[in-house]
Chains A and B, each alone.
Chain A
Amino acid sequence: MAVYKRTYRGYSGPLTNPLWRFTVLQRYAFQAVFKSRLLLIGYVGCFFGPILLLCLLYLNQNASVLALVGQQVGFLKVDSSLFLNFISWQGLLAGILTAFVGPSLVAPDLTNGALSVYLSRPFNRSEYILGKGMVLGSLIASITLLPGLLVFAVQSSLVGFTWFTDNFYLGVGTLLSCLILMAVFMLLGLAMSAFVRWKIVAGALILGVFAAGKGFGAVINNVMETGNGYFLDLQYLLSTVAGGLLHKTPENDPISPWAAAVALLVFCTMLLALINRKLRVCEVAG
C-alpha cells in the first residue's frame, strides 16, 4: 500500500480582496434569510407602499387621467411632510423586518460556538460584524433608502429641474435619514441577537425596545411633567432627526434635532459596546 506524506499545505487558490471579504458572510447569510417563505412574502410586501406612492406621483402630474376623476394636477403636495411620513412608514416596516431577520444573524453562531471557526480564518471581528450587519443594512436600505431616492428622482423627472434644485435638501435629508435609520437598526439587531442568543426572545426584545421605550418615555413625561422622557423613545428620536434633516421641525418640539442626534449617537455607542463585549471568542488569561 502506498503511503503518502500528508503535511500541512496552505491554500493556494484565489483569495478574496481583504477589503471585500465581509461580503462573503453577507452572501451566505442572505441565502439563509430568504429560506423562510413568510419572510420573503413580508419583504416583498414592504414594496407595496413605495410602488403606490410612485403611481400617485405619476398620476399627480398626469392631467388627462386626473381630469377623468375630477382632480387637478398637483392634488398631492410633494413636500417634506410627505417624505417624512414615507420614511416613518417604511421605517416601521424596517423595524419589524429587523425583529425577524436580526436574531438569526449572530445568535446561532454564538449558541453553537461557531464564532471561533469564523475568526480562525483571515477574518477579524470588525469584518464579521460588518458582514452580518450588512445583511440587515442592505435589506433596510432596499426598503427605505432606495425607494426614498427613487421617489425623489421620479418627482424631479416629472416636475423638472427647478423642482430638483429647489428641493435638493429633500434628497439629501432622505439619504441621511435612511442611513441613520439603517445604522441604528443594524446595531440594534446585532446587539439583541448577541445579547439574548435566543432568536424568539431577541426578536421580541427588538420590538420591545421600541414599544417599551415609547411607553416608558411617556410615563416619565406624564409623571415627572417633563419632556426628557422622549430621550428614551427611539422612534421619536429618529423622527426628530429626520424632521430636522427634511426642514420639518415643529415649533414646540421638546427635543431639538441636535439633541436627538446626540442621544442616538450615545445609544449606538452603547449597542456597539454590547456587541464588542458579547462577540468575544475564548480569551486565555496570562
Chain B
Amino acid sequence: MNPAQLNLWKRQILAIVRIDIARTFLSKRGLWIYLLALSPAVPMIGHSLSRETDQLGNDAQIFAGIFQFYYLRIAIFFGCVGIFINLIRGEMLDKSLHFYLLGPVRREVLIAGKFISGLAAAITIFCGSVLVQWVGMFMHHPTDLLWAYMFNGPGLSHLISYLLAAALACLGYGSVFLWAGVRYKNPLVPATGILLWEAANGVLPAMLKKISVIYWLKSVCPISIPAPKDNGGGVWNLLIFDIDPAPASMAIANLLLLAAFVMIWAGIRARRLEIGYGTE
C-alpha cells in the first residue's frame, strides 16, 4: 500500500466526516438524542438545588446507579441506535446515499468516514452530558469537600472512568448499529434482539455474559451496584446485576477489538450495498 493512496483515503475520510458531522449535530431529526442524553441532568440539578447538605458518598452511589442502570443501558443504547443507523439508512430516506456511492470512494472508506463522524458526535454528546450530570449532582457540596473528593480522593478517577465507559459504549454500540444499518433493511430487528440480549445479561451463564457490550462496560465502571432486594422491580431488576468484573485494560482492549472487527465486517458488507429508494 503506497503512502499516496493512504493519504488519499485520509483526505476522503476527512471530507466525509466534515459533511456528516454537521448533519449529525445539527439535524432536527436528532434533537431527541440531546434530550435523551441530557435528561438525567435535570433531576440531578433539581436535587442539588433542593438540598443544602447531603452525604457525598450517597450522591456518588446514586450517580453510579443512574449511570449503569439508565445512562449506559438506555440513553446511550437508544442514542446510538438513532445516530449510527441514521448514517446509512437516513441517507437512504433522504435519497442522498447515491451521491456518495457515485463518487470515486471505496466503500470501506465511506463506512470508516461515516463511523468516525457518528462516533465524534456520540462521544461529544454523551461524554458532555456525563460532565453536566457530574456537576449537577455534586455542585451543592462545599467547595473544599469537593476539592478533596476530586483531587485527594477517588473523584477524578471515577469521573474519568465514567467518561471512558460512556465513550466505549458509543464505540461498541455504534459499531454494531452501523453494521446493522449496512446489513439490514430494517435495523430495528437486530436492535431489538441486541436490546433483549443485553437486558438478559444478568441471568446468562458466565461464558455468554462476555458476548455482550454491557459486560465489558460494567468492568470499566468504578462502583459496583448491588442488585436490590424486594423493590418490586420484577424482571427489570435483571438490568442491575453484579458481575465478576474483568480488568479494565482487558475490557477496553476487547471493546476496541469488537469495534474493529464489526467495522471491517461492515466495510466488506458495504461492497454489496445497493440502493432501493422505492422500498424504503
A215–B81 contact, CB under 8 A? no
Q: Is B134 an interface residue (CB 8 A)?
A: no
A208–B47 contact, CB under 8 A? no
28 cross-chain CB contacts under 8 A: A99-B192, A198-B29, A200-B188, A201-B29, A201-B86, A203-B188, A204-B82, A205-B32, A207-B78, A211-B74, A212-B74, A212-B75, A212-B78, A214-B236, A215-B70, A215-B73, A215-B75, A216-B70, A218-B66, A218-B70, A219-B70, A222-B62, A222-B65, A223-B43, A223-B47, A224-B46, A224-B47, A250-B232
Residues of A within 8 A of B69 (CB): 215, 218
Q: Is A132 an interface residue (CB 8 A)?
A: no
Q: Is B96 an interface residue (CB 8 A)?
A: no
Complex CA–CA separation, A212 to B40 (angstroms): 11
Residues of A within 8 A of B93 (CB): 198
Q: Is B191 an interface residue (CB 8 A)?
A: yes
Complex CA–CA separation, A218 to B66 (angstroms): 8
Q: Which of A207, A212, A250 contacts B192 (CB 8 A)?
A: A207
Interface residues of A in 168-221 (CB under 8 A from B): 198-201, 203-205, 207-208, 211-212, 214-216, 218-220
Known: A201-B82, A204-B81. A215 touches B195 (CB 8 A): no
Residues of B within 8 A of A220 (CB): 43
Known: A214-B236, A220-B43. A204 touches B191 (CB 8 A): yes
Query: What distance in Å separates the Cβ of B280 from its nearest Cβ neighbour in chain A?
Result: 8
Please report whether the interface of chain B is mostly helix, strand, loop or mixed according to DSSP.
helix
Complex CA–CA separation, A208 to B75 (angstroms): 9
Q: Besides A212-B39, A215-B70, A218-B70, 12 other CB < 8 A contacts?
A: A200-B85, A201-B82, A204-B78, A204-B82, A204-B85, A208-B36, A212-B74, A219-B40, A219-B43, A219-B66, A219-B70, A223-B137
Q: Is B89 an interface residue (CB 8 A)?
A: yes
Q: Is B128 an interface residue (CB 8 A)?
A: no
Residue of A nearest to B185 (CB): A200
Query: What distance in Å separates the Cβ of B207 from its nearest Cβ neighbour in chain A?
Result: 26
Complex CA–CA separation, A99 to B81 (angstroms): 14
Q: Is A100 an interface residue (CB 8 A)?
A: yes
Q: Is B124 an interface residue (CB 8 A)?
A: no
A38–B189 contact, CB under 8 A? yes
Residues of B within 8 A of A214 (CB): 74, 236
Q: Is B202 an interface residue (CB 8 A)?
A: no
Residues of A within 8 A of B50 (CB): 224
Partner-A contacts on B (CB < 8 A) = 29, 32, 36, 39-40, 43-44, 46-47, 50, 62, 65-66, 69-70, 73-75, 78, 81-82, 85-86, 89-90, 93, 137, 186-189, 191-192, 195, 232, 234, 236
Residue of A nearest to B59 (CB): A223
Residue of B nearest to A216 (CB): B39
Query: What distance in Å separates the Cβ of A127 from its nearest Cβ neighbour in chain B?
Result: 28
Query: What distance in Å separates the Cβ of B84 from its nearest Cβ neighbour in chain A?
Result: 12
| Most-contacted residue by chain A among B43, B75, B93 (CB, 10 A) | B43
Q: List the 7 closest A-B pairs by CB distance, nearest first.
A: A215-B70, A215-B74, A223-B43, A203-B188, A223-B47, A208-B78, A220-B43
Please report whether the interface of chain A is mostly helix, strand, loop or mixed according to DSSP.
helix
A223–B46 contact, CB under 8 A? yes
Residues of B within 8 A of A215 (CB): 69-70, 73-75
Complex CA–CA separation, A201 to B86 (angstroms): 9
Residue of B nearest to A208 (CB): B78
B187–A211 contact, CB under 8 A? no
Complex CA–CA separation, A208 to B70 (angstroms): 12
Interface residues of A in 140-188 (CB under 8 A from B): none
B195–A207 contact, CB under 8 A? yes
Complex CA–CA separation, A238 to B1 (angstroms): 60
Residues of A within 8 A of B66 (CB): 218-219, 222-223
B192–A96 contact, CB under 8 A? yes
Complex CA–CA separation, A214 to B50 (angstroms): 23
Residues of A within 8 A of B90 (CB): 198
Residues of A within 8 A of B137 (CB): 223
Residue of A nearest to B62 (CB): A222
Residue of B nearest to A203 (CB): B188
Complex CA–CA separation, A18 to B186 (angstroms): 37
Query: What distance in Å separates the Cβ of B81 from its nearest Cβ neighbour in chain A?
Result: 5
| Most-contacted residue by chain B among A88, A100, A218, A219 (CB, 10 A) | A219
Residues of A within 8 A of B191 (CB): 204
A200–B89 contact, CB under 8 A? yes
A224–B192 contact, CB under 8 A? no
A223–B62 contact, CB under 8 A? yes
Residue of B nearest to A225 (CB): B47
Complex CA–CA separation, A220 to B65 (angstroms): 12
Complex CA–CA separation, A204 to B236 (angstroms): 19
Complex CA–CA separation, A208 to B192 (angstroms): 11
Residues of B within 8 A of A88 (CB): 234
Interface residues of A in 37-94 (CB under 8 A from B): 38, 88
